[in-house]
A and B are shown apart, each in its own frame.
Chain A
Amino acid sequence: MAAKLLLEVVTPDKLLLSKEVDEVIAPGSEGEFGVLPGHAHFLSTLKIGELRYRIGGATEYMSVLWGFAEVTPKKVTILAEVAEKAEDIDVERAAAKVEEAEQRLKVGGLPSELKDAQISLEKARLRKKIAERARKK
Chain B
Amino acid sequence: MPSLQSLRRKIAAFKNTQKITKAMKMVAAAKLKRSQDRILAARPYAHKMRGVLGNLSQRVNRASHPLLQKRQGKIVEVLVVTSDRGLCGGFNGNIVRKSAEFLRQCEARGVKVNISIIGRKGRDYFRRRTWPIRQEWTGIFDKLTFEHAIDIGGDLTDNFTKGTFDELYVVYNEFKSAIQQRVIVEPLFPVNAAAEFGSAQAEGTTGGSYLYEPDETDLLNALVPKHFQIQTFRILLESAAAEHGARMAAMDGATRNAGQLIKKVTLHYNKTRQAAITKELMDIVGGAEALK
Contacts and interface: CB of A to CB of B under 8 A. Distances in A.
A40 B208 contact: yes
Contacts of B209: 40-41
B213 A28 contact: yes
A118 interface: no
Interface in B185-222: 205, 208-214, 218-219, 222
B213 A42 contact: yes
Contact of B213 (A10, A15, A30, A72): A30
A43 interface: yes
A33 B213 CA distance: 11
B131 interface: no
Contacts of B211: 40-43
Interface in B15-72: 41-42, 44-45, 48-49, 51-52, 55-56
A12 B214 contact: no
A73 B247 CA distance: 46
Contact of A44 (B42, B48, B213): B213
A8 B44 CA distance: 10
Contact of B48 (A8, A14, A45): A8
- B interface: dominant SS: helix
Q: Which of B49, B213, B222, B230 has the most CB of A within 10 A?
A: B213
A54 to B, nearest CB: 22
Interface range for B: 20 to 34
Contacts of A44: 212-214, 219
B52 A45 contact: no
Interface in A26-40: 28-30, 33, 40
Interface string A1-39: 000000010111111000000000000111001000000
Contacts of A33: 213
B212 A10 contact: no
Contacts of B212: 42-44
Given A29-B213, A29-B214, A79-B48, A41 B42 contact: no
Interface of A: 8, 10-15, 28-30, 33, 40-45, 68, 70, 72, 75, 77, 79
Interface of B: 41-42, 44-45, 48-49, 51-52, 55-56, 146, 205, 208-214, 218-219, 222-223, 230, 233
28 contacts: A8-B48, A10-B44, A10-B48, A11-B45, A12-B42, A12-B45, A12-B146, A13-B42, A14-B44, A29-B213, A40-B208, A41-B208, A43-B52, A43-B210, A43-B212, A43-B213, A43-B219, A44-B214, A45-B213, A45-B214, A45-B218, A45-B219, A45-B222, A68-B52, A68-B223, A70-B55, A77-B48, A79-B48
Given A43-B55, A45-B213, A77-B51, 19 more contacts: A10-B44, A10-B45, A11-B45, A12-B45, A12-B230, A15-B41, A29-B214, A40-B208, A40-B211, A42-B212, A44-B213, A45-B218, A45-B222, A68-B219, A70-B51, A70-B52, A72-B205, A79-B49, A79-B52
